[in-house]
Every structure is written in C-alpha cells, then in structure tokens.
C-alpha cells in the first residue's frame, strides 16, 4: 500500500475475529521491529509475542483493553542496554520502544492486520504473569488480529488539533 494512504487508512481496531495473525504476517511485523532505528543502534527492545490461548488468558488479567484480540505484542526495553544522554541521564529506551512499536503498528496495517496501541495495562501484573525481569521495562502493548465486521474507528480517530497548535517554525 502507498505510504500516505496507509497512514491515512490506519485506525485503532477494537473488535476482532477470533483468527490469530498468520505466521507470515507476524514474521513481517517482527521484521519491521528489527529494522527500526534505536539510539546509537543499541537495540534495547525486547518484544514478548503473545499468540496462544494460554498467553492471551494471562494478558486479560493485566488489562481490560485487550478487546478480545487473539494476538498481542508487548514492547519493552532493557534498561541496561539503552543509550544514555550524558547531560541529564535521559535513556533512549522509552523512545526506542515507541519507534519499534510504531514500525509494527504500520507494518500490521500493511499486512491487513488491525491493531490498537494500549498503554492502559498493569505493568506489575504483566511482570508477574510473564516473569518479566526487573531490568526489562514494558512500554507498549499492541493488541492485534483481523478486524471484525463491526469494527470501526472511534470518533477520536478523526479529531485533529489545528496544525498551527502542534507545529512551530523557528521559535516557540
């Protein structure tokens, strides 16, 4: 799909058929994560693939925002492997994880796979259910699958601030 068409068509899918994401598509989505840029190319991302009934049942204990999706990817970063900005100690990890997640969100759309980015999950419960070590920080959950017939964009999808509110030229 043409890129601008793809980013225009994409919306957060919150109603899914029960079908799991096909292996070929999942592989391409994960490849998009693999190719994402990261600070100093340190690649601190860690992606937990949840694609079995057992894993999805565990996920449902960690968030209400699973929308019955049959597949999910939890994008995390390893805090011991991030690039660190010396001036203020800022870590690249959260940014790296978000870029990785965005690559996968768009790759999913390109594969005809519907997806919603979910931040509203309990990270403590997530750690407990999936044995996530202390140095691995969960950032973004992508719930995904094939859009059900009744899937439609939420009204927020088409609400945009005027660009003059969000873009500044030359000075703030």
Ligand X SMILES: Cc1cc2nc3c(=O)[nH]c(=O)nc-3n(C[C@H](O)[C@H](O)[C@H](O)COP(=O)(O)O)c2cc1C
Q: Residues 6 or more apart from 131 whose CB is under 8 A from it?
A: none
Question: Closest distance between ligand X and the C-beta of residue 29, in Å?
Answer: 17
CB neighbour class for 150 (10 Å; exposed up to 12, middle 13-18, buried from 19): exposed
CA distance 75 to 72: 10
Binding of ligand X by 65 (CB under 6 A)? yes
**Helix or strand or coil: residue 27?**
helix
Smallest gap from residue 102 Cβ to ligand X (A)? 8
- Three-class secondary structure of residue 78 per DSSP: strand
Chosen residue from 1, 7, 40, 119 binding ligand X by CB under 6 A: 119
Our finding on whether 16 is near ligand X (CB under 6 A) is: no
Which residue in the block uniquely carries the two structure tokens 């029960």? 18
Q: Which residues pair with 160 in a beta bridge?
A: none
**CA atoms in the 13 A half-sphere facing the CB of 51:** 14
Is residue 152 within the footprint of ligand X (CB under 6 A)? no
Does 62 engage in binding with ligand X (CB under 6 A)?
A: no
**Token output for 100:** 């990785």
Name the residue nearer to ligand X (CB basis): 41 or 166.
166
Contacting residue, 3, 156, 160, 172, with ligand X by CB under 6 A: 156
Number of residues forming the site for ligand X (CB under 6 A): 12
User: Is residue 17 at the binding interface for ligand X, with CB under 6 A as the rule?
Assistant: no
**Binding to ligand X by residue 38, rule CB under 6 A?**
no
- Residues interacting with ligand X, by CB under 6 A? 11-12, 65, 116-120, 153-154, 156-157
């Amino acid at each position: 799909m043409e890129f601008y068409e793809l980013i225009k068509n994409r919306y957060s899918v919150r109603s899914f058929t029960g079908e799991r994401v096909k292996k070929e598509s999942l592989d391409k989505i994960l490849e998009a994560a693999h190719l994402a840029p990261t600070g100093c190319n340190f690649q601190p991302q860690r992606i937990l693939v949840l694609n079995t009934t057992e894993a999805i049942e565990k996920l449902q204990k960690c968030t209400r925002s699973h929308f019955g999706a049959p597949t999910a990817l939890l994008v995390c970063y390893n805090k011991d492997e991030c690039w660190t900005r010396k001036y203020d100690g800022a870590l690249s990890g959260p940014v790296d994880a978000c870029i990785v997640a965005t690559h996968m969100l768009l790759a999913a759309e390109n594969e005809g796979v519907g997806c919603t980015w979910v931040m509203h999950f309990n990270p403590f419960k997530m750690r407990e259910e999936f044995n996530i070590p202390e140095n691995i920080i969960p950032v973004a959950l992508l719930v995904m699958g094939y859009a059900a017939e009744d899937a439609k964009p939420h009204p927020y999808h088409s609400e945009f601030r005027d660009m003059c509110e969000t873009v500044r030229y030359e000075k703030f």
